[in-house]
Structure formats: structure tokens, C-alpha cells
């Protein structure tokens, strides 16, 4: 799906694109974290170098990078679940709602037979708010 930059966003366009890239790679980051923690060590390249390899240090640096991004997204998800507590269903997934309007609309609690749920404009406002939360948690702006 094409991702359009909202004009009324409080974050710059390049930061918004970074956040969208982080959100799209969320599952990959979780898999990489599990692989670092519980996977078998990779065979080191035996190149001609005067320096000794530091696999534990490299793992720690990569794990810190991944954890920082995962924590920022998770904190934004918790905040959005709290914000939409009485409006969305119990199993509301903010990440899936970021990408899919139909999911966002289906998760809203209806208050009557003529209630159609939130409009697409409300969903776009949700996306802007969620992206800015992730950017603030990552201290990108």
C-alpha cells in the first residue's frame, strides 16, 4: 500500500518515512532479536586482519539498536490502546490498525444500528498521532 505523507503532520517528512520503515520492519526486528538471543552463533569470517573479532560486542550493539526501536513501538502501542480504551475492542492491535483502515473500522465499538464507525479522516488522524508517538519515543525530533 502506498504511504502518503500527511500535510498537517507535526513531524517532518523524512522522520515520518523513518517511522513507517520501522513499523513495517517490526516483525523482522522481533525475529532478529530472538535470533541474537537464542540462535546459534554465526561462523566468523576468517579474513586477514590484525584485530581480534569481538562477536559479543557486536551482538550487544545490534541488540541495543533493535531493543530501542522495539521499545519505542511497544510504548506507542500501549499509549494508543489506553487512548482508545472505551472506543475499540479488547484485542485492538495498533500496528495493524496503522496500515489497515478496515481493521481499524472493524475494531471500533458500535453504539447503535446506524453507527458506521469512524471515518477515514479519523483513521488518518490516528496514523499521524501514532507515527508522532513513535518518533518522540525514538527522540527523532
Strand partners, 18: none
Whole-prediction pTM value? 0.85
Helix (H), strand (E), coil (C) string for 29-82: HHHHHHHHHHCCCCCCCCCCCCCCCCHHHHHHHHHHHHHHHHHHHHHHHHHHHH
Classify residue 119 by its DSSP letter.
Answer: -
Q: Would you kindly state where each structural domain of the chain is located, as residue ranges?
A: 13-37+55-137
Identify the residue with better confidence: 1 or 24: 24
Angle in degrees, CA 8, 11, 12, rounded to 5: 95
Tell me the per-residue pLDDT of 22-70, one tens digit each, with 9 for 90 and over.
999 999 999 999 999 988 766 656 556 666 667 788 889 999 999 999 9
Identify the residue with better confidence: 139 or 116: 139
Tell me the per-residue pLDDT of 74-125, one tens digit each, with 9 for 90 and over.
999 999 999 988 888 888 999 999 999 999 998 888 888 878 888 889 999 9
What is the per-residue pLDDT for 113? 81
Q: Does the pLDDT value for residue 136 go beyond 90?
A: yes
What is the per-residue pLDDT for 64? 96
Query: Confidence band (pLDDT; 50, 70, 90) for 1?
Result: low
Amino acid at each position: 500500500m502506498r504511504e502518503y505523507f500527511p500535510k498537517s503532520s507535526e513531524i517532518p517528512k523524512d522522520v515520518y518515512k523513518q517511522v513507517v520503515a520501522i513499523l513495517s520492519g517490526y516483525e523482522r526486528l522481533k525475529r532478529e532479536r530472538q535470533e541474537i538471543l537464542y540462535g546459534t552463533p554465526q561462523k566468523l569470517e576468517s579474513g586477514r586482519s590484525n584485530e581480534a573479532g569481538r562477536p559479543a560486542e557486536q551482538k550487544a550493539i545490534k541488540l541495543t539498536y533493535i531493543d530501542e526501536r522495539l521499545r519505542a513501538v511497544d510504548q506507542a502501542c500501549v499509549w494508543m490502546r489506553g487512548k482508545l480504551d472505551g472506543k475499540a475492542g479488547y484485542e485492538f492491535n495498533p500496528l495493524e490498525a496503522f496500515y489497515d483502515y478496515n481493521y481499524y473500522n472493524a475494531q471500533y465499538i458500535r453504539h447503535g444500528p446506524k453507527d458506521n464507525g469512524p471515518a477515514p479522516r479519523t483513521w488518518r488522524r490516528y496514523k499521524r498521532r501514532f507515527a508522532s508517538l513513535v518518533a518522540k519515543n525514538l527522540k527523532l525530533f
